[in-house]
């Protein structure tokens, strides 16, 4: 069966692929800002608590499910209990939606890597980004293509489709083996260059100065748990899929610790690099660090960084390193989410690698080009990203976790499986955390986000746009997921216990 589905050649390749998925845009443009906004140096405490009480345990749950049941999310859940297959497809749907817009950010970053050489954005990076580069329309949906986005977007999809068609080891695994070391070098060089900028120290002070009172705020704790779930790519199928490609007698808990701490290490590194650069910018412009930091995310990467690149000594070099790092970190993440969809379709319909890749990724690429390669692409991206993160990722994570833990009571057998070849023992603490702490933390973050979004329409977008792209996309993946679960398995023996136990 391993021959048919594909497999990583070694534990090392799996660990690199998992790190490749985890380390993404979230590390570079989300973590530094979230940490800064939520207590600075004091954020270490909720962050570490979230990592150890929820992040790592949940990561091991995903590993356990994928490694024991040896399938994509739909296959793994169906093997656990027939009726649970829909959960797997729901996760697959979320991955498909994320991939569709994630690719667009990478396409922008590719162009910005080239722009860095000549500082093509001129003296006003904000106007350049919104008006000249994205040609942003009034809120709404348009069909006006933006060639500067469309072309790199098509290239990005062609590249990812090509790599995925090569298969689990030669495509997914080999890409991570090459990209992750190069990423560490390019981002490491960026951090060093940023630390030499005048004012770097004040940026680090701004990031790390602890505001201890933040620890009393529930929102700070919610932010820590939210960051950990997003950042580790847990709870929506990626780690289940990758774990299903790992040889049976492999130490999974040990691998999980390596992946978890590598991802956090990269977040810390990103915080240092980004805030050193922001410190320089603040000093240069006479503003406060908080003002130049903006809201993180797209604005940080495509508006604040170009401004830094304009002023910094060796700015072009910093720019190239920064955008190349974004692209490298992003491609391995994009590969991981797209692979979840391919893997699920292969398992269910018994398709060959190349056929499934084309069948899955071509339609995704087309939707991506249609919705994100136009003058309204930024709006679609902003709304879908916000809603699918909250009411996709977080919701499916808490629902599937509660089903597995309390509905199917699967933790004892999963713990036994994980312990079989483990260097660290999965004890009762694991079951206690997953049974109580993690679901409660997730539920809290989710309810908090829900209340906020009901009370204030996100970013003041028109209601119909939020209804269609926001609530609509989050709901559509559930419905489509449970419909797909009703289709028959191509192979009558797919769900047989004998094939995996
Ligand atoms: N974990 C990735 C990050 O921190 C984000 C990601 C989201 C990766 C969705 C894959 C899919 O950036
Ligand atoms: Na991450």
What is the Å distance from ligand 2's center to 38 Cα?
A: 18
Residue 388 has which token pair? Answer: 């699918």
User: Which residues form ligand 1's pocket by a CB distance below 6 Å?
Assistant: 21-22, 24-27, 98, 230-231, 233, 333, 336-337
Nearest CA, atom 7, ligand 1: 233
Other residues' Cβ atoms within 10 Å of the Cβ of residue 217: 14
Report d(CA 473, CA 371) in Å as an integer.
13
**C-alpha 106, offset from chain centre:** 13
Helix (H, G, I), strand (E, B) or coil at 433: helix
Report d(CA 147, CA 373) in Å as an integer.
8
Helix (H, G, I), strand (E, B) or coil at 58: helix
pLDDT at 57: 96
What is the Å distance from ligand 2's center to 486 Cα?
A: 33
- Counting from 1 in the atom list of ligand 1, the atom nearest the Cα of 232 is 1
Report d(CA 279, CA 293) in Å as an integer.
9
ipTM score of complex: 0.97
∠ CA 37-42-43 to the nearest 5 degrees? 55
Phi, psi values for residue 145, rounded to 5°: -70, 150
For residues 88 and 74, is the Cβ–Cβ distance under 8 A? yes
Report d(CA 378, CA 298) in Å as an integer.
10
Taken as a whole, the chain contains a residue count of 501
| Full pLDDT tens readout for the chain, 501 residues | 777 899 999 999 999 999 999 999 999 999 999 999 999 999 999 999 999 999 999 999 999 999 999 999 999 999 999 999 999 999 999 999 999 999 999 999 999 999 999 999 999 999 999 999 999 999 999 999 999 999 999 999 999 999 999 999 999 999 999 999 999 999 999 999 999 999 999 999 999 999 999 999 988 998 999 899 889 999 999 999 999 999 999 999 999 999 999 999 999 999 999 999 999 999 999 999 988 888 889 999 999 999 999 999 999 999 999 999 999 999 999 999 999 999 999 999 999 999 999 999 999 999 999 999 999 999 999 999 999 988 999 999 999 999 999 999 999 999 999 999 899 999 999 999 999 999 999 999 999 999 999 999 999 999 999 999 999 999 999 999 999 999 999 987 888 865 555
Report d(CA 191, CA 183) in Å as an integer.
12
pLDDT at 7: 97
Positive/negative CA dihedral, 366, 296, 388, 464 = negative
Report d(CA 395, CA 389) in Å as an integer.
9
Nearest to 237 by CA among 408, 89, 433: 89
Nearest CA, atom 8, ligand 1: 333
pLDDT at 496: 81
Helix (H, G, I), strand (E, B) or coil at 15: helix
Report d(CA 325, CA 192) in Å as an integer.
14
For residues 439 and 402, is the Cβ–Cβ distance under 8 A? yes
Burial, 118: exposed, middle or buried (Cβ in 10 Å; 0-12, 13-18, 19+)? exposed
Other residues' Cβ atoms within 10 Å of the Cβ of residue 415: 22
pLDDT at 500: 59
Report d(CA 33, CA 270) in Å as an integer.
10
Positive/negative CA dihedral, 399, 404, 406, 411 = negative
N-term to C-term CA, the chain: 13
- Where would I find the beta strands (DSSP E) of 200-344? none
Other residues' Cβ atoms within 10 Å of the Cβ of residue 397: 26
- At how many degrees (to 10) do helices 56-69 and 252-285 cross? 140
What is the Å distance from ligand 2's center to 296 Cα?
A: 15
What is the Å distance from ligand 2's center to 151 Cα?
A: 27
Phi, psi values for residue 494, rounded to 5°: -55, -40
- Where would I find the beta strands (DSSP E) of 11-149? none
Helix (H, G, I), strand (E, B) or coil at 374: strand
What is the Å distance from ligand 1's center to 230 Cα?
A: 6
The residues, ordered by sequence, that sit 6+ positions from 192 with a Cβ below 8 Å of its Cβ are none
How much of the chain is in helix, strand and coil states, percent to nearest 5? 80, 0, 20
Closest ligand (CA of 24):
1
């Amino acid at each position: 069966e391993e021959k048919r589905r594909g497999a990583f050649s070694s534990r090392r390749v799996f660990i690199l692929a998992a790190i490749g998925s985890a380390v993404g845009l979230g590390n570079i443009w989300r973590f530094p800002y979230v940490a800064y906004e939520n207590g600075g140096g004091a954020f270490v405490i909720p962050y570490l608590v979230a990592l150890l009480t929820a992040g790592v345990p949940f990561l091991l749950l995903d590993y356990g499910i994928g490694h024991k049941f040896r399938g994509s999310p739909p296959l793994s859940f169906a093997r656990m209990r027939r009726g649970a297959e829909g959960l797997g497809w729901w996760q697959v749907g979320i991955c498909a939606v994320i991939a569709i817009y994630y690719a667009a950010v990478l396409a922008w970053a590719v162009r910005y890597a080239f722009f860095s050489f000549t500082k093509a954005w001129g003296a006003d990076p904000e106007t350049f980004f919104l008006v000249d580069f994205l040609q942003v329309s009034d809120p709404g949906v348009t069909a006006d293509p933006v060639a500067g986005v469309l072309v790199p977007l098509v290239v990005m999809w062609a590249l990812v489709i090509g790599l995925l068609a090569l298969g689990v080891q030669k495509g997914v695994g080999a890409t991570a083996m090459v990209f992750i070391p190069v990423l560490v070098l390019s981002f490491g060089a960026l951090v060093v260059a940023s630390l030499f900028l005048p004012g770097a120290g004040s940026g680090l002070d701004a990031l790390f100065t602890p505001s201890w009172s933040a620890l009393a705020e529930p929102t700070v704790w919610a932010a820590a748990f939210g960051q950990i779930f997003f950042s580790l790519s847990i709870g929506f199928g990626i780690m289940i899929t990758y774990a299903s490609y790992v040889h049976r007698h492999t130490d999974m808990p040990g691998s999980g610790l390596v992946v978890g701490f590598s991802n956090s290490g990269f977040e810390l590194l990103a915080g240092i690099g980004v805030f050193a650069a922001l410190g320089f910018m603040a000093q240069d412009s006479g503003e406060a660090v908080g003002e130049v930091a903006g809201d993180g995310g797209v604005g940080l990467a495509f508006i604040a960084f170009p401004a830094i690149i304009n002023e910094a000594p060796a700015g072009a070099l910093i720019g190239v390193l920064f955008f190349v790092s974004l692209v490298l970190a992003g491609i391995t993440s994009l590969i991981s989410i797209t692979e979840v969809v391919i893997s699920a379709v292969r398992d269910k319909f018994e398709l060959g690698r190349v056929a499934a890749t084309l069948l899955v990724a071509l339609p995704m690429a087309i939707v991506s080009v249609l919705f994100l390669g136009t003058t309204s692409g930024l709006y679609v991206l902003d709304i879908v990203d916000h809603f699918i993160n909250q009411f996709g990722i977080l919701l499916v994570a808490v629902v599937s976790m509660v089903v597995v833990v309390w509905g199917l009571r699967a933790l004892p057998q999963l713990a036994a499986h994980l312990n079989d070849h483990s260097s660290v023992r999965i004890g009762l603490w694991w079951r206690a955390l997953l049974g109580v702490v993690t679901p409660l933390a997730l539920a809290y973050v989710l309810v908090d986000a829900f209340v906020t979004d009901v009370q204030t329409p996100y970013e003041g977008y028109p209601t119909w746009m939020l209804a269609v792209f926001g609530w609509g996309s989050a709901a559509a993946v559930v419905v489509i997921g449970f419909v797909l679960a009703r289709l028959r398995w191509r192979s009558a023996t797919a769900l047989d216990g004998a094939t995996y136990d």
